[in-house]
Amino acid sequence: MIIVNNIKLNIDTPKEQAIDIAVRKTGLPRAEIADSFIHKMSVDARGDIKFVYSVGINLADSRKEQFLNGKNKDITVKNIQPLVIPVGEKLMEKRPVICGLGPAGLFCALVLARQGLRPIVLEQGEDVDTRTATVKRFENSGTLNTQSNVQFGEGGAGTFSDGKLTTRIGDARCEFVTDTLVQYGAPKSIKHIAKPHIGTDLLVGVIKNIRNEIIRLGGEVHFSTKLLDINAKNGVVQSVVTTNGTIETQVLVMATGHSARDTFFMLRDKGLVMEAKPFSVGVRIESLQADIDKGLYHSLAGHPALPKGEYQLSHNTKQRGVYTFCMCPGGNVVAAASEEDTVVVNGMSYHARDGKNANSALVVSVTPEDFGGDFTKAVEFQRQLEKKAFEMGGRNYKAPCQTVDRFLQNRAGMNIGKVEPTYPLGVTECNMADLFPQFITESLRGAMPALNRKLNGFAAADSIITGVETRTSSPVRIIRSENFQSNLQGLYPCGEGAGYAGGIMSAAVDGVRVAQQICGEYRSKI
Asked if pLDDT for residue 80 goes beyond 80, the answer is: no
Distance from CA of residue 288 to its chain's centroid?
23
Read off the pTM. 0.94
Asked if pLDDT for residue 172 goes beyond 90, the answer is: no
Query: Is residue 344 within 8 Å of residue 471, measured between CB atoms?
Result: yes
Distance CA 493, CA 490 (A): 10
The percentage of the chain sitting over the pLDDT mark of 90, rounded to a whole number, equals 87
Neighbour-count burial for 418-444, b at 16+ CB within 10 Å, e otherwise: ebebbbbbebbebbbbebbbeebbbbb
Distance CA 526, CA 522 (A): 12
According to DSSP, residue 308 is labeled P
Asked if pLDDT for residue 50 goes beyond 90, the answer is: yes
The percentage of the chain sitting over the pLDDT mark of 70, rounded to a whole number, equals 100
The three-point CA angle 451-418-317 to 5° equals 15
Structural domains of the chain, ranges and CATH numbers in brackets = 2-77 (3.30.70.2700), 90-275+482-523 (3.50.50.60), 279-469 (no CATH)
For the ranges 192-201, 388-397, 427-436, 445-454, which has the lowest average pLDDT? 192-201
Asked if pLDDT for residue 363 goes beyond 70, the answer is: yes
Distance CA 317, CA 219 (A): 50
pLDDT band at 63 (very low <50, low <70, confident <90, very high): confident
Q: Which comes out higher in pLDDT, residue 69 or 497?
A: 497
3-class secondary-structure state, position 265: helix
Distance CA 433, CA 440 (A): 9
For the ranges 92-96, 163-167, 354-358, which has the lowest average pLDDT? 163-167
Distance CA 217, CA 523 (A): 15
What are the backbone angles phi and psi of residue 70, rounded to the nearest 5°?
A: 80, 10
Neighbour-count burial for 58-97, b at 16+ CB within 10 Å, e otherwise: ebeeeeebeebeeeeeebbbeeeeeeeeeeeeeebebbbb
pLDDT band at 239 (very low <50, low <70, confident <90, very high): very high
What are the backbone angles phi and psi of residue 268, rounded to the nearest 5°?
A: -60, -45
pLDDT band at 526 (very low <50, low <70, confident <90, very high): low
- Say if strands 50-59 and 2-10 run parallel, antiparallel, or are unpaired: antiparallel
Query: Is residue 335 within 8 Å of residue 370, measured between CB atoms?
Result: no
Going by C-alpha positions, the residue among 355, 91, 337, 303 that lies closest to residue 199 is 355
pLDDT band at 232 (very low <50, low <70, confident <90, very high): very high
Query: 248-302 pLDDT, tens per residue?
Result: 999 999 999 999 999 999 999 999 999 999 999 999 999 999 999 999 999 999 9
User: Taking all residues of the chain, what is their mean pLDDT, rounded to a whole number?
Assistant: 95
Residue type for 164, please?
Answer: K
Q: What are the DSSP calls for 56-110, one per residue?
A: EEEESSGGGGGGGTTSSTTEEE----PPP----SEE--S--EEE--SHHHHHHHH
Distance CA 130, CA 139 (A): 14
Neighbour-count burial for 318-340, b at 16+ CB within 10 Å, e otherwise: eebbbbbbbbbbbbbbbbbbbbe
What pLDDT shows up at residue 479?
98
Strand segments, DSSP code E, in 157-312 are: 220-223, 227-233, 236-242, 245-248, 252-254, 274-276, 279-288
